[in-house]
Amino acid sequence: MQAEELDPEVLKRYAFTVWSYKQGEMVSLMIHIGDRLGLYQALRGEGPMTARALAGKTGLQERWLLEWLKGQAAARLLNYHDGDRFELTDIGAAVLADELESTAFAAGAFSGQTPPETVDKLVDAFKTGIGLSYEDLGPNAAHRTERMLGPWTRRELIPNILPALDGVVEKLSKGAVAADVGCGGGIALTTMAQAFPKTQFHGYDPSRHAIERCREKVTSLGLTNVELHVAGGEALPATPTFDFLITFDCIHDMTQPGKVIESIRGCMQEDGTWLIKDIRSAADFKENMRNPLLAMFYGFSVSACMSSALSEPGGAGLGTLGFNPQVARDMVTAGGFSRFVEHDFADPSNLYYEVRP
């Protein structure tokens, strides 16, 4: 059919949908620049601010700031006031500025454009079937993942999540042996190690970039109860070792999740607990379509999660949305665990499973 024969209104709406994703790409880059230059922190609590005042506060160029501020107002992220004054509201600050204080913080997820060589490799992956591991994605990806997933973990893990698990806080307080498998940059690991100094913690991740970030944190916090291993969940101790073990947002990234689950079973004490955090999803795609951010999750999957889970021949390729409650229950049962309790901590992106031998 020729373009002239198509319904012009429907064509316009469809083209608008496509251009809105291009707009998203541009606004994403602007959020990254704002985050990197500390502009949201500089705007926080100031009320309506001119580009000149922002330049005075940050030492940056007024003309560049004015263009950025106008773009942020156009994106509805800043409020516009007469006299070219721009305001970051308290709500805006919670999402864009308050990394340590707010579980809603999101600016850390915006790490700029994907490097062209990574895009080339992803295009190739569609032909070869073999994706990129987190290690292949480089240090920037490890940093972005940590900043994206860290706020919720940092604020909720100790006060709200661990106390809901049967007997775990008591054990960790007295002194136990615990592991974070797929620990990434180590926010959960170091948060727990600080809270429970009598427990010895082990962090495992096959990505050297991730373990490097962990190591920096462990050193800067002066933690003496953490040991780090550049190794995947396939290489856990073969004898019962851990009283508590977590896997946060990583089973769906693994090439051999079934093998790792068996390996976790083998290293758990008989009265141990395994806490899984994984993406909130359903087995039914139509049900998932109710999630207004679903397309973003599929983007994460192709560019990182499924890619990692297919980074070796024969990889399981679960991907971001592939470890739903049904799959989780079936796989951990097949791996030799008998108790499975689903927890909903109102984390908008994740569900939690308390699993025991």
List residues binding ligand SAM (CB under 6 A). 134, 145-146, 149, 181-184, 187-188, 204-207, 210, 232-234, 248-250, 253-254, 260, 308
Q: Given the complex with ligand SAM, which of 156 and 234 has the nearer CB atom?
A: 234
C-alpha pair distances (Å), 321 with each of 110, 111, 197, 249, 345? 21, 22, 35, 10, 18
Residues 6 or more apart from 28 whose CB is under 8 A from it? 110
Q: Given the complex with ligand SAM, which of 207 and 301 has the nearer CB atom?
A: 207
CA 142/CA 175 separation, integer angstroms: 30
Q: Given the complex with ligand SAM, which of 154 and 356 has the nearer CB atom?
A: 154
Q: Given the complex with ligand SAM, which of 172 and 306 has the nearer CB atom?
A: 306
> Which residue is nearest to ligand SAM, using beta carbons?
184
Bridge partners (DSSP) of residue 203 are 180, 228
Collapsed DSSP state (helix, strand, coil) of residue 43: helix
Q: Given the complex with ligand SAM, which of 69 and 226 has the nearer CB atom?
A: 226
Bridge partners (DSSP) of residue 351 are 278
Minimum CB separation of residue 257 from ligand SAM in Å reads 8
Minimum CB separation of residue 68 from ligand SAM in Å reads 29
DSSP result, 117-183:
HHHHHHHHHHHHS----HHHH-HHHHHHHHHHHHHHHHHHIIIIIGGGSTTHHHHHHH--EEEEET-
Q: Given the complex with ligand SAM, which of 86 and 300 has the nearer CB atom?
A: 300
Minimum CB separation of residue 53 from ligand SAM in Å reads 37
**Contact indicator for 87, 76 with CB cutoff of 8 Å:** no
Minimum CB separation of residue 259 from ligand SAM in Å reads 8
Bridge partners (DSSP) of residue 177 are 200
Minimum CB separation of residue 229 from ligand SAM in Å reads 10
Collapsed DSSP state (helix, strand, coil) of residue 97: coil
Take residue 7 and report the two structure tokens written for it.
Answer: 């319904």
Minimum CB separation of residue 64 from ligand SAM in Å reads 33
